Structure 1
Amino acid sequence: MHKLSVVGICEPKLSKDEVDSIRLRLNFDFVVCNSSGDLWVFFRTPFASQVVGESDQHLSIRWVHPQFPTPIIVSFVHAKCLVPDRQQLWEGLLRDRPAQGSCFTWCNNRLGRARIWKRLDRLLINEECLNFSLSISVSHLVRAPSDHALLLLSFAPKLAYRCRSFRFLNVWPSKERFLDVVKDAWQTEVYGSPFCVIWGKLKNVSRALHLWNRHVFDDIFENIKKGEAVVAAVELRVQSDLSDEAHMELQRAQASLHRLFAVEEQFWSQKARVKCMKHGDLNSRYFHSVVKQRHFRATIHGVMDSRGEWVMDPDEIGQEAVNHFRRLFLADPVSDFQLLYMIPDLSAEIDNVGLKAAPSLEEVKRVIFEMDGDSAAGPDGFSGKFFTTA
């Protein structure tokens, strides 16, 4: 069974006077309750707690643990049914964490059409929690004996990032030498079938751009830190030097820093893939927040294997992915086409000829130049921006 260090119970249906006896029966060291007695939180050492907020709908606790790099605040919520009653309750509870298990956490246990399923129980986190050094996951356990499912909250060390694949950055074409680097790499001879030649040339281009990026752009964020330090140093000089030369130097340093900020904004804008914001003030913070949320939601904490059991170990998750695609691609091909007659023939012969005809170079060029430059990169790492620019 699960080894639980903290347990929160909503709507216990018991008096607060019985909470200590329940704590002893459950073998927990401490318990805290909200004022209405609708929320009970049991926990064991080495957890240390401090209540930082409570009402008849919530209980916020500041937790300290030796494995936590910083204290965290967890809010246990038993919200009221009407929107006006709980409107202010949700302020500050910003992110809904995806969960494993059933999609729903509550059922009225009625029969037939009278049965209702809802997701009433959630784990909400704020943006600061996305920077936490531990990976956070939540699972919906079975609904027994309550009509609500238990939520199992787990903390685990984040997996170290493996070697990252190549990704084309849309800010690269802004440099003068970009097209020369692409041209030199593309002219390298590659032998094989036409598809192998295209793949090999794109591979050469990606390697050349990777090396070129290290010399031209280097570390974007480190460059910004250096630029800010230069501006700060020049500002100190201007405070005591009123010459035009010092003022011009400050303007040059500020302009250089502004260009670095623009590069950073383009970087985060591409990673965030947000298309509703095109121009205006710098939106790097917003784009960064979107990227963090996407990475957080995309983290795979577990997968269900072919036997219907959850696999949580990272190595076993990878092996299960390999097994899934092996079963998919090594399955026996379909050889029975007896049901094809059920598919209506709606295309004319002239349409079939057009569909089977090879596209002209003009058609290929038109399709490529209609690609969205801000779209996600393909498996080769190149976005539409590369093909429309190079």
Structure 2
Amino acid sequence: RRTLWDDLIYCANRFKHEPWAVLGEFNVTYGAEHSSSNRMIKAMKEFNNAINAELEDLKVTGFHFTWNNMRMGTEAVLKKLDRALGNWQWFRFTGDSFAQFHPPGISDHSPVSIHFRHRQPYKGRPFKFLNFWTDSEKFLHIVKQEWDKVYTGSPLIVIHKKLKSLKGPLRNLSTRPDSIAKELRNKLHSVQQVMEVGRVARLEEAFFNQKSRIQWLKEGD
């Protein structure tokens, strides 16, 4: 499954400016609420991390649980292993699309199909708060800057406007922590190169100093 997660992350970065969707069985639930066993496991967390920043579930109709173990009573197990996910550009260009999960029939999985309704005006990509934003040194400054702005209206309207104004600046921080890590690695590499140049320069200086002393001793003899 980790190979699939890596492929999803690759596609999310490679085709982030193009609309695309992926649907089918992922063999893992998104969270405990999508399983009748109600347990959160490591595989769920890995799946969440893979799709968290770039992919969103399409609106869904039909069956909630998409897989069953074909048993009855207390032995029955139901899970949502099948999904239909789209990137932000998908929601922007396809409008009001949705996934329908059909009755499983003789299979233990529910078939899924994507449907397109009348295209609605684009209202912007769905906003998702990413927890790692709070680790940024700019986070509190951005929040304070937006929260100090003055708006008119009832207290609830004012709070709504302030929260809405935060979306743009927060999105500008970053959408993936791995992009920050890559930038830091590049900076570290640059620093290491400078340190290496300095080390070689010191060795070179020591070499010529030693060589000049040897030459001076020879001439002195």
TM-score range, shorter chain: 0.3 to 0.5
**Between structures 1 and 2, the one with greater helix share:** 2
Q: Which has the higher contact order (CA 8 A, sep 6+)?
A: 2
TM-score calculated relative to the size of structure 1: 0.25
